[in-house]
Chains A and B, each alone.
Chain A
Amino acid sequence: EADIYQTPRYLVIGTGKKITLECSQTMGHDKMYWYQQDPGMELHLIHYSYGVNSTEKGDLSSESTVSRIRTEHFPLTLESARPSHTSQYLCASRPDRGGAFFGQGTRLTVV
């Protein structure tokens, strides 16, 4: 099992609320990623980080923001949730050489 954790697993929240999705890894990886995935569909990269204090926007435009103050922690924040944000959010990290390890995902529903 990979040591990368996402919380919460499931979240139902009202429109306009601020939410933070947590992602932590204990493998010491510098590179971390956030993907957005509708059920059974392709993955879209929304944010990534090369290391502490590094954040970049991904290929899919997202209203969310991320921060990377510590190597092990890469939280994603939505300042004002909307129903269009309903999706699954997957966090991943990887070593310099090799593939990515994924968390279990957070399934977000905005009502």
Chain B
Amino acid sequence: AQSVAQPEDQVNVAEGNPLTVKCTYSVSGNPYLFWYVQYPNRGLQFLLKYITGDNLVKGSYGFEAEFNKSQTSFHLKKPSALVSDSALYFCAVRDLGRDDKIIFGKGTRLHILP
């Protein structure tokens, strides 16, 4: 079965510093991977996806993610954090089994310190 893990409940980064939010996955076959962001009292917003191609994927709001097949990771990154990046971030993998569901990690709260 497909699964995704976000090992950190919370990440604190000073404004202007680079940020990384970690995600590892377990799939059979080629992974379809996603990152979403959720601001307070809002739904989830799509940030970026990896399906195939270049291992470095660029997304919205200056975020990017690096697909690493050997480490089964898909970490979210940004070179310079903004206070407005503070939110809850979810990594997700598409389950290509019979149900074809999208499976979410537990989420990582990113707190950018001004």
Q: Which of B32, B34, B104 contacts A42 (CB 8 A)?
A: B104
Closest beta carbon of chain A to B40's beta carbon, Å: 8
B83 CB-CB contact with A under 8 Å? no
Query: In this complex, what residue of A is CB-closest to B109?
Result: A40
A99 touches B49 (CB 8 A): yes
How would you classify the secondary structure of chain B's contact residues: helix, strand, loop or mixed?
strand
Are A103 and B101 also in contact (CB < 8 A) when A40-B88, A42-B106 are?
no
A41-83 interface (Cβ within 8 A of B): 41-43, 45, 48, 50, 56, 58
Given known A98-B49, A99-B34, contact A90–B104 (CB-CB < 8 A): no
Residue of B nearest to A100 (CB): B102
List, in ascending order, chain A residues with CB within 8 A of B34's CB. Answer: 99-100
